[in-house]
Structure 1
Amino acid sequence: DDRGQIIITGSHGGLLGNDPATAIRVEVAACAFNDAGEGIDHVGISRLPALNRRGIAAVTVDYMSARIGDARSMWETGKISHVNPIAKKMGISHGQSLPVFAETVRQAMRHTNN
């Protein structure tokens, strides 16, 4: 069960079928996607606002820093390119690595639970 977990996907950050329910199917604490170069109308980061509305911290990594479709590449070399407001409020910012993202979210979760 992935509820409440921090999820690193290799997937692009585009909202599938423009349906907010497809942004991520489980109520996770946070998730990361690849911006896939953003694309026309910033479609490659369109999951971020939908996840923000659901209370989920979300980021994308720059497609030039990690292979699209490869979560391990994102974890090892990915650099954050975009953050949603919830992630930003946690202190997550452009240029950070995903290990820093995950640790920042973990700390925020501990602080919230205490």
Structure 2
Amino acid sequence: MNNHSDPKDSVAWDIRHWIRIPALNHQADAITINNALAKLPGILQVQVYLERKKIRVEYDQTKVDFLLLKNQLEAVGFPLSDSWWWRRKWSWFQYLDVNARENANAPAPPCCSNPKGINAASRRQR
């Protein structure tokens, strides 16, 4: 399921979250949620647990973030749990996604342990 061709698209940027959805009651709801999230780029897997009223979503943080997932679920009529604890978790999930995306798109750091490059600038030409 994880077919990544670019090194930045590796499984290092894949993450899984549990998301509580109070309106999740029937198998038809599960199908609606699966279809809605499947439209988003970077969604790798969605598992629905009706008895827990939760879903487990695995996605690539470089392509999609938690806020986009939340907005997509609300657009199809499934708002997330609105308790204090879940609002804190949403904020944390979004922070992790933004941080991961910035790290994935950051330029490669210079290599300081390359012996050929350590004194290259200070060598005298003879």
Q: Shorter chain as normaliser: what TM range?
A: 0.3 to 0.5
Q: Which has the larger radius of gyration?
A: 2
Output the TM-score relative to the length of structure 1. 0.34
